[in-house]
Structure 1
């Protein structure tokens, strides 16, 4: 968990200035800086016009404290000036931390499964033994009605496929001795074309 900590900078003041002349006119800027140089000759200034703030860095913490004590809520060119000690905010680690490993197992593939995770077993396939038995009893030229027709649904009937000569593809045990089985057509492999060397130019 990131912890927000605030630390006060005893060497730096932030001035809230509502007078725009400090940011636009060099004369007003010189008068503003002269107020603080009386406390510390080595004071440095950073102007932030869009925020209407001036950062004032002192070389001595006692000089910064005395300037804040004497100049806070004083009048400068007809406008009130307020002074605050600068604060540095530190939130957690200076580096970006990785996320908590609570739900990293959702990454595919997971780096490591969570505690108590087990591989799920495949479901047993559903086999309709009644249908297999009925199909095995089919004879040549016969059909089997799987579902009887109702007033709202049609009937489902299985027919035995026939070959090219109109005969049943199912073997007939009674005629197996009398009628020789016709040989199946053989698949002929396509011949590779002759190699022709390329013509060099």
Structure 2
């Protein structure tokens, strides 16, 4: 039942209402000449073609897309302009006119998120009923293992996990301390012995100052 309910919720989220509306009172001129955006006389000639159908026509130029939006006062003027000017020649380029479309995805009204997802919003809203914050688990420290490892001397090994037919063994190899810089073998019940002093790092000497050198 839970699997079926989850599948139904996914189908509800995937099924989105998409509405496409044609804007019949406007046209989009597609791939217009590049000179149309820079030469004023060419722009005036282009606008004259459409003002013969509607004196109140308005133009919006999109140079990056090489398109022009032509808005008419009514749909009849837009339909007549497309019927007569579509695929006609203008300054050596074929004019292509299309009706723009407005795409609405989902409901036109904004719906609030589902209650079980509201606590993921930043800043968070009220959490759902019954929701409780989880607490981090307390770290587990194996003192027996730490004690056994501390008793291992240099060059010795300690098997942490015995091998099985399906898993390998885990063995700790302690490196030998040739220079005597590392800690010595210490028992857990005894006090820790002081470590040997660490070697001093010699700082690199700064070059002598030369007055003749350019800074």
Partner Cα distance (1:108, 1:46) in 2: 43
Assess if the C-alpha contact under 8 Å between 2:115 and 2:128 holds in 1.
no
Partner Cα distance (1:28, 1:108) in 2: 57
Q: Which of 64, 67, 76 is residue 81 of structure 2 equivalent to?
A: 67
1:33/1:103 Cα in 2 relative to 1: closer, same or farther (>3 Å)? closer
Deviation at 1:89, TM superposition (A): 1.5
Task: Return 5+ residue gaps in structure 1 as ranges.
Answer: 115-201
1:51 aligns with 2:68: no
Which is greater in Rg? 1
1:109/1:41 Cα in 2 relative to 1: closer, same or farther (>3 Å)? closer
TM-score normalised by L of structure 2: 0.47
Partner Cα distance (2:119, 2:70) in 1: 52
1:81 aligns with 2:95: yes
1:9 aligns with 2:12: no
Helix, strand or coil: the match of 1:46? strand
Q: Which residue of 1 aligns with 2:34?
A: 20
Deviation at 1:46, TM superposition (A): 0.6
Matches within 5 A, 1:29-48: 29-48=43-62
- Specify which structure has the higher proportion of helix: 2
CA deviation map 1:68-108 (0-9, x unaligned): 01111111100111001121121223454333345668999
1:105/1:53 Cα in 2 relative to 1: closer, same or farther (>3 Å)? closer
Partner Cα distance (1:66, 1:53) in 2: 20
TM-score normalised by L of structure 1: 0.50
Number of residue pairs matched by the alignment:
115
Partner Cα distance (2:125, 2:74) in 1: 58
